Amino acid sequence: MKEKLAVVAFGGNALLRGNEAGTIEDQEKNTYDTCIKVLELIKQGYNIIITHGNGPQVGNILLRNEAGYNQFKIPKMPLDICVADSQGGIGYMIERQMLNVLNDFNMKRNVITIITEVLVDINDPAFQNPNKPVGTFYLKEESELLAKSNNWIFKEDPRKRGWRRVVPSPKPKDIFNKKLIRDLARKGNIVIAVGGGGVPVYRHENSYLEAIEAVIDKDLASALLAKDIKADAFFIITDVPKVYINFNTKNQKALDRISVEEAKQYHHEGHFTAGSMGPKILAALDFVSKSGKEAIITEASQLQYENCGTRIYKD
């Protein structure tokens, strides 16, 4: 059987759950558990590329930035370096735990992490409207103090879990080293790439690359990678088994298999909020519309079932 290629986008909850302190012990346990569940895709005949978010982690790195400067006058690092730091740290954690899982299940695969840059447009309107949440949740009063002292912008979480800092989130235009990522995965290696949406850079007219202060949405960057390397499927791993309309109401309804047009209609009706399921739906739509292949949104424990999650297909 010819092996298929899948891009698997880990949500933040794959590493850090909302009710946890975020210790390394918490994150390693969660990562190990998620990697076990991802093995189901390998059993189903997929070669896999793992991408991941970094919202909580990069937010914590930024806080350490501020604390180090305020207490010890350690120079602050820009947001792109913080994103790269999170890519390296999270990639290492996924890589090591995946190797542990492979060993525990007597499977042999190489695992490699690639620090990934992603091209963005300096004129993207997102720079005028920051909306990408990073870091932990705060009470409204705490967020107001932090906003005043650091010149940060905060918005309330759509699920009413608190207030989070938001930063610009430009659309990804191109993934660096995408052919290398594809070729390594096609040969059976498990590749970890596009961490946190990738490190955002833009290209000057003379081709000079410059970093930009932003965080790219990891689902949109993952969808672009999946499309460009002609992946056979795109899995978005989140904290619910399926996508819902009328979420958290008495009329809540799980969606099984829906067309692109149905997904667009539900999105237009406002069922998927910008700070939660909205970016996942848009990323899935982008991949399916341009590739003709399926996108699947589900929770990691559901991967053992071949028809798991909400599956979006092209009409």
Which are the catalytic amino acids?
12-13, 132, 218, 280
Residue 85's alpha-carbon distances to 20, 51, 172, 183, 215, in angstroms, are: 21, 15, 19, 25, 13
Instruction: Give me the DSSP letters along the chain.
Output: -PPEEEEEEE-GGGT--TTS---HHHHHHHHHHHHHHHHHHHHTTEEEEEEE--HHHHHHHHHHHHHHHHHH-PPPPPHHHHHHHHHHHHHHHHHHHHHHHHHHTT----EEE---EEE--TT-GGGGS--EEEEEEE-HHHHHHHHHHHT-EEEE-TTSS-EEEEE--PPP-EETTHHHHHHHHHTT-EEE-SGGG-EEEEE-TT--EEE-S----HHHHHHHHHHHTT-SEEEEEESSSSEEESTTSTT-EEE-EEEHHHHHHHHHTT-S-TTTTHHHHHHHHHHHHHH-SEEEEEEGGGGGSTT-SEEEE--
Instruction: Give the residue among 76, 94, 87 at the shortest CA–CA distance from 30.
Output: 94
Q: CB of 134 within 8 A of CB of 165? A: yes
